[in-house]
Amino acid sequence: MISSVVILGGVTLQRQLTISEGYDEGEDWTVYPSKQSYTMDIHAVTADAEVFTCNAYLVSGDRPVLIDAGAMPGVADIINNTVDNLEAVYLTHQHTDHVAQLDAVLDQFDAELYAYNDHPRRDGTLVDGDTVEIGDELFEIVYTPGHASDHVAFVGDTRVFSGDVVVYNDGAFDDGSFGRTDMTGQSREQLIKSLQRLLERLPQTVEELYAGHGDIYRGSPEDDTTDSVKTIIERALMRAERREPKYSNNWF
Ligand SMILES: [Zn+2]
């Protein structure tokens, strides 16, 4: 059996051929409405950074956008080498490690800037409950303060861009952690409520977590052998609810 997948717009065609039957017989084309579009790629453009930075994610597709700009010098050139144009930058929050390269990116591309809080170059406001198009998918904005008062997460059917409200791993925990809340203006109690809000608004179908730090996490809700993204967030919530410091020199 040969299986090939052809991508046409937002529709996935899966073609299954039985070799013994040849290509003319036994063809079975099935059209799946593509919940998980394969036309959008997600590039962690800060992956090779030698300075402290958040993960900045470049999402290609119908609407190429950047989630956070990061702090890695030269990131605008990497974006330029990866996509033809950049339509927008969405900020999860405006801590320095997320925005240090923002001016360089906006100087190089004619991209709109969207953020929850004001910014001199902002074109649009991110509002809780609104929907934004990232790559080929729609994401709901979920306001998630605590680590930062202007923090939002982007929640789609299959993926979440979580910024620093929840991360898969960091120096404190390997399988479900959360952003620091011990600095001025931060609040653990708010962060706990934000994680609860995120869980309430998380579709059952979410499989991938793209956090502002640490590794990308993939876990299918149907696969009993791996934790689902929901489980990772629940674990982060449980750990945050201990109301203990994460560690003394947490960077983010
Ligand atoms: Zn931060």
pTM of the model: 0.84
Q: CA 126 to CA 67: how far, in whole Å?
A: 13
- pLDDT above 90 covers what percent of the chain? 77
Domain assignment of residue 79, yes or no: yes
Tell me if 248 is assigned to some domain: no
CA of 54 to the centre of ligand 1 (A): 8
The per-residue pLDDT for range 108-139, each reduced to its tens digit, is 999 999 999 999 999 999 999 999 999 999 99
User: Is residue 249, in this structure, part of any structural domain at all?
Assistant: no
Ligand 1 centroid distance, CA of 116 (Å)? 14
Kindly state the greatest CA–CA separation across the chain: 69
Domain assignment of residue 180, yes or no? yes
The answer to whether residue 250 is domain-embedded is: no
Q: Confidence class of residue 50 from pLDDT cuts 50, 70 and 90?
A: very high
Pair 16, 136 in one domain: no
**Rounded distance from Cα 93 to ligand 1 centre (Å):** 7
User: Does residue 49 lie in a domain region?
Assistant: yes
Domains held by the chain: number: 2
Distance 250 CA to ligand 1 centre (A): 11
Residue 237 Cα to ligand 1 middle (Å): 17
Q: Does residue 70 share a domain with residue 24?
A: no
Edge-to-edge order in the sheet of strand 131-134: 131-134, 137-143, 152-155, 159-163, 208-211, 217-218
Residues 2 and 124 both lie in one domain: no
Q: Are residues 126 and 13 in the same domain?
A: no
**Distance from the alpha carbon of residue 117 to the mean position of ligand 1, in angstroms:** 14
Residues 16 and 75 placed together within one structural domain of the fold: no
Report how far ligand 1's centroid is from the alpha carbon of 76 (Å): 21
Model confidence pLDDT, tens digit, residues 158-207: 999 999 999 999 999 999 999 999 999 999 999 999 999 999 999 999 99
Are both 106 and 175 inside the same structural domain? Answer: yes
For the chain, helix, strand, coil in percent to 5 are 20, 25, 55
Q: Note down the domain range covering 115.
A: 35-240
In this structure, the answer to whether residues 182 and 105 fall within a common structural domain is yes
